[in-house]
Amino acid sequence: MSAEAKTEGKDELTKKKLIDIIGEFYGQLQSERVPYLNLPTRTKANIEYNDASEVWVYGDRESVRSAKTVRGAYQLLKTSYVVDFLNAQLDQAKSSTLRELYYISENWDLAKFREQQESDRLIEDLEIVSELQRENFHIRPEEDGASVLGPIKIKEQTRRGTKIIHCQDDVGEGGYQIPNNVDNLEFLEHDAKMIIAIETGGMKDRLIENGFDEKFNTIIVHLKGQPARSTRRLLKRMNEELKIPVVVFTDGDPWSYRIFASVAYGAIKSAHLSEYMATPAAQFIGIRPSDIVNYELPTDKLSDQDIRALHSMLSDPRFESEFWQSEINLQLELNKKSEQQSLAKYGLDYVTDTYLPERLSEMGVI
């Protein structure tokens, strides 16, 4: 079957699942019931560990979105408008961004979104109910700029045809830009011993400039802060299909620990996609609160928001291990945080020549 035929088949299945959601509303009305929609409660209290997939997924707690209230009725109306828009988009073989969807609703009068966060959340609701991903709806995020550089050759299927790229030889210093739908990629060959996913662009550039990818046969993935779905999906695919270990290198603050958690365990707001995107074998490599002490790193004081986030993490089931509980409590005691680039205190080569090799050796990666 051709790639076009496969895409058409997926689009037809997507349209059917979306229409079935609206069909449920009609069925409820015909049965003289007030229309409603059941959705999982998206809080840390409603995520549970799945032993089979080794990731965190939603539990049994649900909330009901019902037309019994004015607010609920408007939400179901907006759901209907979005489904209609998505089906028209699929019919026309077009796509749009999350931002464009928000602006398109300006013409919907009663169904207009108040802010983009509201329309983003509704797309997530549709993913949960339909058991699909937003990529199936032809909805994509804004360009996120995440990239890959290292000893791996891939085949990418684009609308202009197929292209083969070596992510070390055929790309610039910035690396290969990760596409929105990484399931269109085929891994052809690689010499990689590990994958290091890096939070900041500055540290990514340091590793590349120092030749870390060549010296240690490493695929370097720039997360660019909180990683996009496509980046997390790519990490999972390379880890599981190619059996390459993944380590995540971030700053030493609560927001960075959550970046690691989204890669390894799954994010709370997208727990319905954890089995599709999370890489449970991923390991955390730094910066740890204990590093602040052991390496006498330059620091900043924790903000009130940092402190609240750390306290919240102490009751987050994704951070219930002895390691995380100990490190988080230490950070609260120190009242300090530190960045990856604070290692430059010991020279520009210290992170690639000393810190990372020692830590990777301790972890058994090299």
pLDDT in tens, 23-43: 999 999 999 999 988 888 877
Number of domains within the chain = 2
Question: Residue 97: pLDDT band by 50, 70, 90 thresholds?
Answer: confident
Which of residues 128 and 56 earns the better pLDDT score?
128
pLDDT digits (tens, 9 = 90+) for 1-31: 545 555 668 899 999 999 999 999 999 999 9
Residue 155 inside a domain? The answer is no
Tokens 């102490």 -> residue: 314
pLDDT of 328 higher than 90: yes
Which residue range forms the structural domain that includes residue 194? Answer: 190-362
Q: CB-based burial of residue 345 (10 Å sphere; 0-12 exposed, 13-18 middle, 19+ buried)?
A: exposed
Please work out, in degrees rounded to the nearest 5, the angle formed at the alpha carbon of residue 111 by the alpha carbons of 109 and 113: 100
What average pLDDT is seen over the chain? 89
Look at residue 100 in the predicted model and tell me its pLDDT: 84
Claim to verify: residue 104 and residue 207 sit in the same structural domain: no
One-letter identity of residue 291: D
pLDDT digits (tens, 9 = 90+) for 162-189: 889 999 988 877 789 998 888 889 999 9
Q: CB-based burial of residue 108 (10 Å sphere; 0-12 exposed, 13-18 middle, 19+ buried)?
A: middle
**Among 112, 140, 168, which residue terminates a domain?**
140
Claim to verify: residue 92 and residue 236 sit in the same structural domain: no
Question: Residue 53: pLDDT band by 50, 70, 90 thresholds?
Answer: confident
Claim to verify: residue 216 and residue 292 sit in the same structural domain: yes
Residue 172 inside a domain? The answer is no
Gap between the Cα atoms of 310 and 331, Å rounded: 8
Residue 148 inside a domain? The answer is no
Percentage of residues in the chain having pLDDT higher than 70: 95
Tokens 């202009």 -> residue: 160
pLDDT digits (tens, 9 = 90+) for 262-288: 999 877 666 676 777 889 999 999 899
Beta carbons of 285 and 359 less than 8 angstroms apart: yes
Question: Residue 161: pLDDT band by 50, 70, 90 thresholds?
Answer: confident
Claim to verify: residue 119 and residue 232 sit in the same structural domain: no
**Among 101, 122, 140, which residue terminates a domain?**
140
Residue 173 inside a domain? The answer is no
Domain of 90: which CATH number? 1.10.10.10
Residue 298 inside a domain? The answer is yes
Gap between the Cα atoms of 225 and 198, Å rounded: 9
Claim to verify: residue 341 and residue 256 sit in the same structural domain: yes
The residue-averaged pLDDT of 138-145 equals 71
Claim to verify: residue 10 and residue 124 sit in the same structural domain: yes
Provide Rg for the chain, Cα atoms. Answer: 22
Beta carbons of 241 and 285 less than 8 angstroms apart: no
pLDDT of 261 higher than 80: yes
Most confident of 98-112, 242-256, 264-278, 342-356: 242-256
Beta carbons of 227 and 255 less than 8 angstroms apart: no
Domain of 332: which CATH number? 3.40.1360.10
Beta carbons of 57 and 63 less than 8 angstroms apart: no
Residue 231 inside a domain? The answer is yes
Question: Residue 246: pLDDT band by 50, 70, 90 thresholds?
Answer: very high
Claim to verify: residue 117 and residue 210 sit in the same structural domain: no
For β-strands 62-66 and 176-177, DSSP reports them as unpaired
Claim to verify: residue 349 and residue 217 sit in the same structural domain: yes
pLDDT of 253 higher than 90: yes
Secondary structure class of 192 (helix, strand, coil): coil
Active-site residues, by number, are 103
Of 119-123, 158-162, 344-348, which range is least confident?
A: 158-162
Claim to verify: residue 335 and residue 236 sit in the same structural domain: yes
Of 102-106, 143-147, 201-205, which range is least confident?
A: 143-147
Claim to verify: residue 211 and residue 358 sit in the same structural domain: yes
Instruction: Specify the DSSP class assigned to residue 45.
Output: G
Residue 318 inside a domain? The answer is yes
Gap between the Cα atoms of 210 and 97, Å rounded: 36
Claim to verify: residue 94 and residue 242 sit in the same structural domain: no
Claim to verify: residue 214 and residue 341 sit in the same structural domain: yes
Beta carbons of 204 and 222 less than 8 angstroms apart: yes
Beta carbons of 167 and 176 less than 8 angstroms apart: yes
State the Cα torsion 96-100-102-105 to the nearest 10°: -90
Q: In 10 A of CB 71, how many CB atoms? A: 10
Gap between the Cα atoms of 223 and 197, Å rounded: 6
Residue 44 inside a domain? The answer is yes
Look at residue 275 in the predicted model and tell me its pLDDT: 78
